[in-house]
Chains A and B, each alone.
Chain A
């Protein structure tokens, strides 16, 4: 470091307040202090708002993200992010490389410039002043080699920020992706305008660009005014720009004048920017790193319970939200990624996860005196997020019940959100209020009633649950009466739906023939409650879960497997909190194991297929490889759809949507998906969730593609691979009778 004592004017450095004068300097300090005051005041108001929220229990996440696992999520999306992932902008680049790189440049450019400014402040306001006081002489490190290195770094990083910003502005202004037009999914009757939000974005970009530009101009004017000192070549952008000015005939004196004007402009812009941070989109620079560090995707897999001390059911006031949920609201950058992938929005339902977050944010601000300069929607009738009436309900008022009921809880929004927002738990918390008020579809009401009386949504007698096993020529063990290795949790659809019973029968036969020791709970099983919970009927979920847990406890088994990914999710992730921890597999995992180990001998099918990842299997629980390997083992050529794996597109049935009317949708998500599959040129659509068979067979019909696309459960491929095997005396086929 070039800490070389006495300030020598000829040294490689620059004058900090060049041409500003003492009065100017004083004015600058006064205004700066005021600005910083405004900044802290605004930030304090924000923090005060978050502190009104409930405990979120995310401190462990924060610690892990900072210390225990500082590189989590850098390369692969995991449940949590980390300081490394934030630094690498991993979450931003994940779904949009170009935007990610541009953001990375701007991000680091800004941080570098900020650090640069801090260093300068330390030198100028602390080191120099202190040394003068103590030693009697002004000392500085802002010179010599240090200055040169400093200049090079700041100049280049600033320049990359310019490039990044230019791309982002170009994208926003010229490419204009649909997701950035901020059109609402739900159009309020009285009309709305989001032009202020658009303007706010441009102000943000514009201010930032202007600060960078004036910074370089200032540098250039200074270099011209000081006659191109040779070391200033280390401020390459300013140098080149200065040479340019020189070439167009800028005199040294004029450059001096320009320099001081630009200096003030630059300072004014920078201070305006700082002052605006807590009141504008710029806030995301401070909040989103934090939000990412405390993010935990697993909150969607095991939903939080309702607020324990609340007098009412469902979120009704600000203090019902946790501080993380409140932070989520302010963290949204409106990037529209969730808006783009949301199956409800895609289908024309009045829900966009982005709108939900923005509406709640604006409502929260409107009710806590939060100040946002431009970043808000306007409505002539002051409805929705503009509601200030404290009596107006959040669920069903600020956010319409139709909006809340549109969510399939597919988790796609949470998956793609670059800033760690967890929409789904908030949606469910709000739905809990709707359920309490009875604000729901009559068909959903019927399903819930059936679930509470019979434990299944079909309204069939609980005693009929295992009737499908009558179609077998052997008896499946009753795990409540004899010990088994695997307990098969069959699920409602695979048990009660006439069409899907064939799937269950096929699976039972295959397992039986393979000598797998398995059993079921017979009429002891109830709906696992996954979707009941997501509907927001927590009491019923508890009832169902407790019933199942009692049945599971009365049974003897080692591990569980399920046919239904929804059951899998709650059994695996939510039952443990109720004291029932088991190893839970999906049947594709079990079948893969049997095929790979050779227990089930299969021949190659040589079919060309595509595979649909169920949300609750792939995105929720990361089971994407087993079905693929199984397809491969069966000799199928898998042609992936563009949206696959964790990025799979929802069928539209989750979160209780299967019990609600979907006729108002412009295009059902399942129809959208079938069209996607047709686009990749296959005629076999393989699924691994019973509901999917129903949803997609129906979609094939409703899109008029009967005969073009066959929807099959993967279990039938396994069966076919067996069946076509030349039969030998006494071999598997005879025993199974398939």
Chain B
């Protein structure tokens, strides 16, 4: 049985994504424990290999059908690679691509699959994954039995830094064009870039949210700047919307939208029940409120009583670097 761990590289327009490095870092650790190597499947321009020095082997498949992500083409290509290279474990991100490919490959490649994985370890011979279930209310520690396994891993579960460190003597293998790639029927018609205009706050991973603590519309600019720097949309409590400072589409809460981002930054929001109703399910809530008894701290994971007028500029400066 091989002890190799294979990672599928995700890229947008040839730029490898953060999530891939997170997986690569973890893959190294697991490969060591399993006595194998880290392989990365790079679909697209051969130049991708340059960004994937963290793997021992880069399996490169360059074909026009793979220029942008395409579920059918990727599945055909990845299945060939898996059959050919026969790794012990395949790591995918638990985002769109992983949600597309993990489960179907589990059938086609006849491998066990653990989804929503937040932690991974090797215990003797066994690969153990800790997965989130019930919307994160429970964690399950599972063993992936059999000779092959697939894990789809949650974003941010592992640090990316470990994946960027170059491996000694990284090798690039040009993979023969898998059969069927010329005959892909799923066609990419267009790519829609996120609009700056009317954002959908329910879909964002990170929200920067403000309440009446911001005091005036002019001060909103400061928060907007931070949000832009973080690439996050601005959301707000109802009074901000009532005042007409932000459109209704940005209102979080009972009479607004229910959001469930990965992180929610609340500045100057007291945490009225109507507001909490709309955001208490966020994975990470960080609240800034000068009143230490504000109810927002009852749902927040982290809090500070720092003045928002101090904290926001400080954050902005640091992101700017």
Contact = CB atoms under 8 A, between A and B. Distances in A.
Q: Decide if A and B touch, CB cutoff 8 A.
A: yes
B255 A662 contact: yes
A443 B254 contact: yes
A661 B254 CA distance: 9
B281 to A, nearest CB: 11
Interface of A is mostly: loop
Given A443-B254, A443-B255, A458-B277, A663 B295 contact: no
Contact of B273 (A443, A497, A662, A663): A497
Given A497-B273, A499-B273, A663 B254 contact: no
Contacts of B260: none
A443 B212 CA distance: 23
Interface string A671-714: 00000000000000000000000000000011000000000000
Interface in A647-671: 660-663
A702 B211 CA distance: 13
Interface in B235-251: 238-239, 241-242, 248, 251
A498 B273 contact: yes
Interface string B213-255: 0000000000000000000000000110110000010010011
A662 B273 CA distance: 17
Contacts of A662: 255
A119 to B, nearest CB: 65
Interface centre among A443, A446, A458 (most CB of B within 10 A): A443
A663 B251 contact: yes
A702 B237 CA distance: 12
Interface string A448-466: 0000000000110000000
A458 B251 CA distance: 18
Contacts of A458: 277
Given A443-B254, A663-B255, A702 B273 contact: no
Nearest to B243: A702
Nearest to A701: B239
Contacts of B242: 663, 702
A633 to B, nearest CB: 32
Nearest to B276: A498
Contacts, number: 24
Contact of A663 (B212, B248, B258): B248
Interface residues of B, number: 14
Contacts of A497: 273
Nearest to A661: B255
B238 A663 contact: yes
B275 to A, nearest CB: 11
Contacts of B239: 701-702
Given A443-B254, A443-B255, A663 B241 contact: yes
A443 B241 CA distance: 17
A691 to B, nearest CB: 12
B254 to A, nearest CB: 7
* Chain A interface size, under 10 / 10 to 19 / 20 to 34 / 35 or more: 10 to 19
A442 to B, nearest CB: 9
Contacts of A499: 272-273
A497 B273 CA distance: 7
A498 B251 contact: no
A701 B295 CA distance: 17
A628 to B, nearest CB: 30
Nearest to B238: A663
Interface centre among B239, B255, B258, B295 (most CB of A within 10 A): B255
A455 to B, nearest CB: 17
Contacts of A459: 277
A443 B255 CA distance: 6
Nearest to A457: B254
A662 B251 CA distance: 12
Contacts of A661: 248, 255
A52 B242 CA distance: 47
Interface string B266-288: 00000011000100000000000
Interface string B185-216: 00000000000000000000000000010000
Nearest to A660: B255
Contacts of A663: 238, 241-242, 248, 251, 255
Nearest to B295: A498
A662 B239 CA distance: 12
A491 to B, nearest CB: 15
Interface centre among B238, B251, B273 (most CB of A within 10 A): B273
Contacts of B212: 701
A246 B80 CA distance: 120
Contacts of B273: 497-499
A661 B255 CA distance: 5
Interface string B48-80: 000000000000000000000000000000000
Nearest to B239: A702
Nearest to A496: B273
A186 to B, nearest CB: 20
A166 to B, nearest CB: 48
Interface centre among B239, B242, B295 (most CB of A within 10 A): B242
Nearest to B212: A701
Contacts of B272: 499
19 contacts: A443-B255, A446-B258, A458-B277, A459-B277, A497-B273, A498-B273, A499-B272, A660-B255, A661-B248, A662-B255, A663-B238, A663-B241, A663-B242, A663-B248, A663-B251, A701-B212, A701-B239, A702-B239, A702-B242
Interface of B: 212, 238-239, 241-242, 248, 251, 254-255, 258, 272-273, 277, 295
Given A497-B273, A701-B212, 5 more contacts: A458-B277, A459-B277, A499-B273, A661-B248, A663-B242
A-B pairs, 3 with minimum CB distance: A498-B273, A661-B255, A497-B273
